[in-house]
Amino acid sequence: MSQHTRPLNRQDYKTLTLAALGGALEFYDFIIFVFFAAVVGELFFPADIPEWLRQVQTFGIFAAGYLARPLGGIIMAHFGDLVGRKKMFTLSILLMAIPTLAIGLLPTYASMGILAPLLLLLMRILQGAAIGGEVPGAWVFVAEHVPERRIGIACGTLTAGLTVGILLGSVVATLVNTSLTQQAVHDYGWRIPFLLGGVFGLVAMYLRRWLQETPIFLEMQQRKALAQELPVKSVVSKHKKAVVISMLLTWLLSAGIVVVILMSPVWLQKQYGFAPALTLQANSVATIMLCVGCLLAGFIVDRVGASKTFIVGSLLLACSSWFFYHLTGSHPQHLFLLYGLVGLCVGVVGAVPYVMVRAFPAEVRFTGISFSYNVSYAIFGGLTPIAVTMLMSVSPMAPAWYVLALSLVGLGLGIWLRQDIYHRDSNVQAELQRL
């Protein structure tokens, strides 16, 4: 049996498990801030400022993490292409674990004054830099370890793992808020999720010590075939087509999850009057189905290719989202079914990294994915909530129209992929034969 078509072996599963575990914990560490933003705002800013200003400052600190992603990701990817995938893969989780642990230990404004929010801002910037390197690094790491015909399921598993991190953050936040009084949460309870995330992150970093460097990087290193110029310069000047399609795919990935998973519970409450507890339960179902969808997309893309996967997947996303946004109000008894179905179809984004790791040659793969992913995520991840909110002043069905537009983008990309836009060295594992 060919090395490129063999089933996943024990080492592959070990690599996948440790990578997915680390990714889930990193996303948990990054997202947990959202669930305790109100408490953090009260504790880290003066008590006498207006509430609106407190919220702006708190979410400004949260946004700083997103703004730090491109720079942190590009710097880490630069060294990942020059000194090794494994070193940067381990560094990214350390850079996430230490700031998360530090946030859980930070003195508040009452103790340190203006220094408290400044330290909080610094910790969020470090977290943003770490998450910017983690996701592209994880995709590259596993894609260069597993057989070529298993790249899709490997990357889909990782993307599902990131989604599990979001779900884990929601579960921990719910447990803290339901098991402690509001005063206890205010006094010390808010620190617990950050301390847990920091400790778990350090454990995951320790476990990653047992991972091996990717065979492709070792071969390039032996042949002195690493990038001869600044990797990001090579990416921007020689791989524009790969950058464009990777940025569009990242828009599909980020905006699909932001609108369907993160924004829809509040929309359901305002538009159809659903109780918050009910929408959060339905959201958990949708998030679990998103994980399943990512795994399915990865499994399917290995067998039928990216073009068919995105064409069919985008059409299913268009139909399921339209039904969800338009029928949930008149058929509230089907909320869980409709939300779960659209969550499953958003899972087409699980095939996104399959295309991205095949779009760049190994010499600049880490930098190419990191540049495209983080710049696009900073733009569309930040602008999507604003755009959808503004469109809702025109039509309350703005989320449905936005997801429909995303589906058309996915459909267009699927058709474009039929034109062989991959880099001519697209077969990741086949590069071992070439080197």
| Residue among 398, 383, 380, 306 nearest 349 (CA) | 306
Which pLDDT value is given to residue 262?
80
**Looking at residue 250, what is its pLDDT?**
92
CATH of the domain at 17: 1.20.1250.20
pLDDT value of residue 435: 37
297 Cβ neighbours under 8 A, 6+ residues apart: 152, 156, 309, 313, 347, 348, 349, 350, 351
Evaluate whether residue 97 is within a structural domain: yes
pLDDT, tens only, 46-92: 877 777 777 677 767 767 777 787 888 888 877 777 777 777 777 88
Model confidence at 277: pLDDT above 50: yes
3 lies in some domain: no
Number of separate helices (H) and strands (E) present in the chain? 21, 0
> Which tens digit of pLDDT belongs to each residue from 368-412?
898 999 889 888 876 787 788 888 888 899 999 999 999 999 999
Q: What residue type is assigned to position 420 of the chain?
A: D
Instruction: Give which of 74, 369, 380, 136 is closest to 239, Cα–Cα.
Output: 369
4 is a domain residue: no
**Smallest Cα–Cα separation from 46: which of 120, 93, 108?**
108
State the residue range of the domain holding 244: 10-434
Global confidence as pTM: 0.82
Q: Residue 116 falls within a domain, yes or no? A: yes
Residue 409 within any structural domain of the chain: yes
Does residue 107 register a pLDDT over 60? yes
Domain count, the chain: 1
pLDDT the model gives residue 91: 81
Contact (Cβ atoms closer than 8 angstroms) between residue 345 and residue 320: yes
Q: Is residue 298 situated within a structural domain?
A: yes
Q: How confident is the model at residue 425 (pLDDT cuts 50, 70, 90)?
A: very low
- pLDDT of residue 143 exceeding 80, the answer is yes
Q: CA 194, CA 204: separation in Å to the nearest integer? A: 15
Mean pLDDT of 346-351: 95
Which of 351, 345, 410, 314 shows the shortest CA–CA distance to 152?
A: 351
Mean pLDDT within 175-195: 89
Instruction: Classify the C-alpha dihedral 52-56-57-58 as positive or negative.
Output: positive
Let me know: does 215 contact 431? Beta carbons within 8 Å.
no
Residue 1 lies in a domain: no
- The verdict on residue 318 lying in a domain is yes
> The tokens 């710049």 sit on which residue?
375
